[in-house]
Structure 1
Amino acid sequence: MKHLKPIFADALSQEENLFVDKGRVHIRDKHWAPDEILEGLLKPEAYNDLFLDWVQERKEELIESAKAILDEFNLQDRFSKLREVYARGVVVPFVGAGLSVSSGYPGWTAFLKQNIRETAIDPFEFDEILRAGLYEDAAQRLADALGPAFNEVVENAFGRSRDISGCVQLLPHVFDSCVITTNFDDVTKRCYEAADKPFSEELSGEHSRELPRKLAEGKRILLKLHGTSTSPRGRILTATEYRKHYGDGEELQRAIEAICSKTLLFVGCSLTVDRTLTAMKTFVQANGHDNVARHYAFLPAPIDGAERIARRDALIECNVYPIWYPAGTHDESIEALLLALMEKI
């Protein structure tokens, strides 16, 4: 709960939580005379009592928010099924770039667009590539234009240890085994270390042959599917790097099949067209929807109903079932849904 203390400090400074009335200083539901404060009555145990009361109140509010989200999109039954699978300990989080944005790291689109300024790349043409979801091709264009400087801008963007913020800090309290990510930053790793739950091992997608055994052991493993920002050797970002590491696609397919033996929960992932989803779709088509694990994703709901249905259908082809939340409520909705996953609602 350490990650909640800065939020608690902000809450205490709000007028409704801190005021003076009839000569007594009120902090939430407790109050003291000025001399009592000066004599040191406000000891650590008083702070802890206030903090724990606030944590419980906040949890209850977020769980109510989760109920409202599920009611809004009529997803109570789907979420209940996910909770059943989670209770058996076989849900593995797949963490996307969206969970690192609150800590100051750029999303993929922002990273690619902000670095074309120092190149001769046509921004309008580049936008067209991004709108088509061709991120590896866009990254290749940027790498070709920047040359050796490309590795430097990747490391500058994702290799710095920024202060961690947001709902990503809840992950160690929800999931206590394997975590999968395509992110280059070390946010997830540092979150688990801060919660005194360090990973016993860190693997890259190159170890796809070892994944079934590693996953079956149930150890706390961080699988960085596409490598890290600090080493271009195992990194997978550009089209050339995809071809180098995955060749004809067999290595990627093997890695995807290994992780799909578990139920995946995509959190902070955009889940637009990419090689991961394409490989999942191929796996599902080869084996049948009812013969492989179902996966889930917390995603912002498209405002247009027809677009939402089309998006749902595309995800279900990969055996990924969306749990929508209102657009523009990313961190608070994901935190609410993660808390609800641990609690009976």
Structure 2
Amino acid sequence: MPYNQYEKNQDFNTYLDRNWGEVRIGTFSEAASFMLFNYDETSYIEQLNEWISRKQQSLRLTYDKLLQIKTNLSRLQQLENAITNGSLTPVVGAGLSAPSGHPTWTTFLRDTARNLEMDLNIIDQKINAGLHEEIASSFIDKMNIEWFNEQIEHNFSLKSYPQGAIQQLPNLDPACIITTNFDKNIETIFESSRKSFDHILLSDKLMGFGRRLSQSTRILIKIHGDHLEPYNRILTKEEYDASYGHGPIDLDLNLPKTLAQIYKTRTLLFLGCSLMADRTMKVFNRVKSDSTSEQEIPRHYTFEQLPTNSNHTLKRERELIDHMIFPIWYPRGEHQHIESALAHLSEVFRTKNRNLGTSHTTTLTPQT
């Protein structure tokens, strides 16, 4: 097997090395997973298949626990319906890239501020107020644009083969994915699954989005740009103002117009998104406020960590549902629940395809 197949199985390799340790031959030693992969491919695949079987069972048990929390059962059933009728559109945030070694946006801002010896108390106050774009502008004032671009490239370049729940996305086979992330984890996962995107659209290429979607093509929209294309990136206050409007949201601009169209016509599933008071949420709030009836807008869903007390839970639920986004709750810090739910939705999609007599290949299988 080519070496990149070894990289794809990082979680399994870590498990194998933790249990088997290193293999020593004379003065030479190497990780057990690497030795098995290179010198006993049959045994490596056998061990991998056993590990995958155990992981699938573990994900099913985790999903069963997810169903027991609050209103999760009915909301997850609605996601099954969206998978079945083809209306589901994942919206991927920084939380889904964290297992692959990328910082969340908040972490990046705090780390950069610390390196620049800025006052972290002021930075934290701005983060809590949702003023991320103002912080980015202040960095450029201190660093200059070339240095800042270099830091973006360094932090959001591909570290290793993407890990975690993001690996499940190709199994859902969505017609469209939206991401606020700068990295290329989504592209890497889909290319590896032989499901490359027909169109990868940045904010300046959104004209004709609806026509492309109706042509049954696979589309990735990187609404805030790519880490390698600084001139198409939306990061600073000035760039947000140009793309979303100065002051109130301007729905005549391409990016808000496209987000509004998707918000009104698709079932959005937010994955790893903070969903705080940022410009994207302001677009949704504007569209909902302009609607004459709640029935004009589909229900959307997000995976959300349970707050520390019930009062905070009720407050957060109200905040989200005010934007027609219904939370699927999971215990704080137990992010494996997201992967378990996506694995279940993948199985729903495979069942649909079997019933239609079509084939579908899951990514949770060893490559031989």
Distance 1:14 1:116, change over 3 A: closer
Q: Which residue of 1 aligns with 2:198?
A: 200
Question: What are the Cα deviations for residues 250-274 of structure 1, in whole angstroms up to 9, with x where unaligned?
Answer: 3242021122221111001111111
- Size of the aligned set, in residue pairs, is 318
Distance 1:95 1:207 in 2: 19
Deviation at residue 189 of structure 1 after TM alignment: 0.7
2-structure distance, mates of 1:80, 1:54: 29
| Separation (CA, whole Å) in 1 of partners of 2:131 and 2:65 | 35
**Structure 1: runs of 5+ lacking an equivalent:** 17-39
Q: Which residue number in structure 2 is paired with residue 68 of structure 1? A: 65
- 1:96 equivalent among 93, 98, 122: 93
Cα deviation, residue 164, structure 1: 2.3
Question: Match for residue 19 of structure 1?
Answer: none
Q: What is the CA distance between 1:303 and its match in structure 2?
A: 1.9
Deviations 1:110-140, CA, capped at 9 Å, x for gaps: 1111112343632221211111121111212
| TM-aligned CA distance change 1:88 to 1:276, over 3 Å | same
How many Å separate the matches in 1 of 2:277 and 2:120? 21
User: Measured at CA, do residues 246 and 67 of structure 1 come closer, stay the same or move farther in structure 2, by a change above 3 Å?
Assistant: same
Match of 2:231 in 1: 233
Q: Structure 2-normalised TM-score?
A: 0.80
Task: Tell me which structure has the larger Cα radius of gyration.
Answer: 1
CA contact (8 A) 2:302 2:325 kept: yes
Q: Please state if 1:256 is matched with 2:259.
A: yes
Question: Does residue 1:342 correspond to 2:346, yes or no?
Answer: yes
Q: Give, in angstroms, the shift of residue 10 of structure 1.
A: 4.2
Residue 305 of structure 1, aligned match among 310, 318, 324:
310
- 2:84 counterpart of 1:80: no
What is the Cα deviation at residue 61 of structure 1?
2.1
Pair 1:314-2:319 in alignment: yes
Distance in 2 of aligned mates of 1:4 and 1:76: 32
TM-score by length of structure 1 reads: 0.84
Provide the residue aligned with 1:141 in structure 2. Answer: 138
CA contact (8 A) 1:105 1:157 kept: yes
Partner of 1:210: 208
- Mapped contact 2:89–2:174 kept (Cα < 8 A): no
Aligned partner of 1:110 in structure 2 is 107
Match of 1:285 among 289, 294, 297: 289
Stretches of structure 2 lacking an aligned partner (at least 5 in a row): 21-38, 352-368
Does 1:295 find its partner at 2:283? no
Structure 1 CA distance, aligned partners of 2:134 and 2:186?
A: 27
Q: Which residue of 2 aligns with 1:220?
A: 218
